[in-house]
């Protein structure tokens, strides 16, 4: 998994003639000799948001007198395919996850952007930071559009919304002891671990992945798994393991089934499961995991649009930048894109117009969240951080948390070099 974006899209290439019906023309490049070619912007997006991108980009294109060609891609393939695509079929604009930024920017595949002051004012700083990258001076490489995070989903028929972490712990353990098979907190790990879902517990104990340099850029030499403020609190992990508050043997399917079947009153999950909870006729409320020693901030996944290097080669970079930094940043565009796959908009004005109660609650649970590090070194972290949680919360025979996380930090440093 290790990306927050739970998106399954049909892999297909849309024929140019079919796209012409939606965008006005599928001809992306030069016309025949003696004729003037219509300017066309090619966009790669996923299945969930194809129709929304068609609509939003189509409105922009009509106002500019240009055409758009929206190509359907599997979300996870957009990043990898961008590095191998031929220039003549390459996109000018891509939908992407913020944690691709470091890799794509370092590889020269996306170009720096400058947002207008009005757009910048409506986008939280952490969403802009998510799409910023630089080993010296940070530069913006994408316009944030939607934010995704996990929260604590409470079955309000089985438990009260916790007022503190101590209260959560007490309620969860009391519920667990009521009946065999009950879970205290349904938070997924499994044999491979899940650093993403465990992050609120990690941050709540003072943990972090990478610190920052004086210039504000992520510092891969400052590994927060070995930070003294975190290690001081690791005895709490040992206690949670002993009392069964958290158990790494619980995987995603087990956590989901337990909550939907009433065998767990608390579930750490994201907005991708809102519909399942509603179909189970469960009364629920979503809140942020209560503070432990520090704020239990979730990891944030931010999706947005980037302009590729190919836009310059195609002679459409100015139009591509206008679409991405101008129109896609507006509240109306972001609200449309937000509804496409039920994610909270990055634009604060669009956020005020969200009507789905649960989605608004997930938005509130994102406050103080930490964008997943977007530098390439993050690839060395996922399995080690998740593995430390697995080893320290597997029940009998668990490794002391201080040891598990110290070893994980050492392994990460070795992998990064």
Specify the range with the lowest mean pLDDT, choosing from 33-37, 108-112, 227-231, 403-407. Answer: 33-37
DSSP label of 271: G
Q: Is residue 1 part of a domain?
A: no
In which element (H, E) is residue 399 found?
none
Q: Is residue 157 part of a domain?
A: yes
Q: Is residue 9 part of a domain?
A: no
The mean per-residue pLDDT over the stretch 371-392 comes to: 97
Pair 397, 253 in one domain:
yes
Q: What percent of the chain is predicted at pLDDT more than 70? A: 91
The mean per-residue pLDDT over the stretch 10-37 comes to: 35
| pLDDT above 70 (res 21) | no
pLDDT of residue 135: 78
pLDDT of residue 116: 87
Measured between alpha carbons, how far is residue 316 from residues 28, 53, 92, 99, 320 in Å?
A: 10, 18, 8, 26, 6
List beta partners, residue 96.
304
Pair 177, 83 in one domain:
no
Q: Tokens 């519920």 sit at which residue?
A: 175
| Structure-model confidence comparison of residues 405 and 136, the more confident one | 405
Sign of CA dihedral 62, 63, 67, 72: negative
- DSSP line for 391-414: HHSSSTTPPPHHHHHHHHHHHHHH
pLDDT of residue 215: 85
Q: Is residue 8 part of a domain?
A: no
Q: Is residue 6 part of a domain?
A: no
Q: Tokens 């465990």 sit at which residue?
A: 198
pLDDT of residue 37: 52
The mean per-residue pLDDT over the stretch 141-154 comes to: 98
Instruction: Tell me how far apart the terminal alpha carbons of the chain are, to the nearest angstrom.
Output: 25
| Structure-model confidence comparison of residues 37 and 112, the more confident one | 112
Measured between alpha carbons, how far is residue 215 from residues 8, 136, 218, 219, 250 in Å?
A: 38, 7, 9, 10, 40
Residue 414: CA count within 13 A, CB half-sphere: 7
Residue 186's CATH number: 3.40.190.10
Pair 365, 218 in one domain:
no
**Residues spanned by the domain of 270:** 151-297+381-416
Q: Is residue 10 part of a domain?
A: no
Q: Is residue 112 part of a domain?
A: yes
Specify the number of domains making up the chain: 2
Pair 127, 216 in one domain:
no
Condensed to tens digits (0 to 9), the pLDDT of residues 298-327 reads: 999 999 999 999 999 999 999 999 999 999
Model confidence at 216, in pLDDT bands (50, 70, 90)? confident
Condensed to tens digits (0 to 9), the pLDDT of residues 222-232 reads: 999 999 999 99
Q: Please, are residues 1 and 369 in contact by the beta-carbon 8 Å criterion? A: no
Q: Is residue 5 part of a domain?
A: no
Pair 267, 400 in one domain:
yes
Pair 64, 170 in one domain:
no
The mean per-residue pLDDT over the stretch 46-67 comes to: 96
Pair 162, 205 in one domain:
yes
pLDDT of residue 103: 95
| pLDDT above 80 (res 27) | no
Pair 230, 333 in one domain:
no
Pair 117, 182 in one domain:
no
The mean per-residue pLDDT over the stretch 169-175 comes to: 98
Give the span between the Cα atoms of 228 and 226, in whole angstroms.
6
Model confidence at 69, in pLDDT bands (50, 70, 90)? very high
| pLDDT above 90 (res 24) | no
Pair 273, 399 in one domain:
yes
Pair 69, 201 in one domain:
no
Give the span between the Cα atoms of 121 and 141, in whole angstroms.
17
- Reading the block at residue 8, the tokens are 């399954």
Pair 244, 135 in one domain:
no
């Amino acid at each position: 998994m290790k990306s927050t974006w739970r998106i399954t899209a049909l892999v297909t290439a849309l024929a140019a003639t079919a796209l012409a019906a939606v965008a006005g023309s599928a001809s992306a490049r030069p016309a025949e000799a003696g004729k003037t070619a219509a300017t066309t912007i090619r966009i790669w997006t996923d299945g969930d948001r194809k129709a929304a991108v068609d609509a939003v980009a189509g409105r922009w294109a009509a106002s500019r007198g240009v055409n758009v060609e929206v190509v359907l891609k599997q979300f996870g393939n957009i990043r990898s395919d961008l590095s191998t695509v031929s220039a003549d079929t390459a996109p000018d604009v891509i939908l992407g996850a913020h944690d691709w930024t470091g890799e794509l920017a370092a590889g020269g595949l996306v170009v720096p952007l400058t947002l207008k002051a009005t757009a910048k004012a409506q986008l939280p700083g952490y969403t802009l930071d998510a799409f910023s990258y630089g080993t010296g001076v940070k530069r913006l490489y994408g316009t944030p559009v939607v934010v995704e995070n996990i929260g604590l989903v409470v079955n309000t028929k089985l438990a009260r919304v916790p007022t503190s972490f101590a209260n959560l712990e007490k309620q969860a353990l009391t519920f667990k002891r009521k009946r065999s098979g009950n879970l205290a907190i349904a938070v997924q790990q499994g044999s491979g671990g899940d650093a993403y879902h465990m992050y609120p517990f990690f941050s709540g104990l003072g943990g972090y992945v990478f610190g920052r340099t004086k210039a504000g850029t992520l510092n891969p030499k400052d590994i927060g798994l070995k930070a003294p403020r975190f290690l001081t609190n690791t005895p709490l992990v040992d206690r949670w393991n002993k009392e069964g508050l958290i158990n790494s043997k619980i995987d995603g399917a087990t956590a989901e089934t337990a909550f939907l079947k009433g065998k767990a009153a608390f579930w750490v999950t994201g907005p991708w499961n809102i519909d399942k909870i509603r179909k189970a006729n469960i009364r629920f409320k979503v809140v942020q995991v209560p503070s432990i020693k520090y704020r239990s901030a979730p990891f944030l996944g931010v999706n947005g649009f980037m302009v590729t290097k190919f836009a310059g080669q195609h002679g459409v970079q100015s139009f591509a930048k206008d679409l991405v930094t101008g129109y896609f940043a507006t509240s109306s565009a972001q609200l449309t894109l937000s509804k496409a796959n039920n994610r909270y908009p990055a634009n604060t004005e669009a956020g005020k117009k969200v009507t789905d109660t649960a989605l608004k609650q997930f938005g509130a649970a994102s406050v103080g969240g930490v964008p997943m590090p977007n530098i390439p070194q993050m690839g060395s972290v996922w399995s080690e951080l998740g593995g430390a949680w697995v080893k320290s919360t597997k029940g009998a025979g668990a490794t002391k948390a201080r040891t598990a996380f110290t070893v994980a930090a050492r392994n990460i440093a070795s992998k990064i070099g």
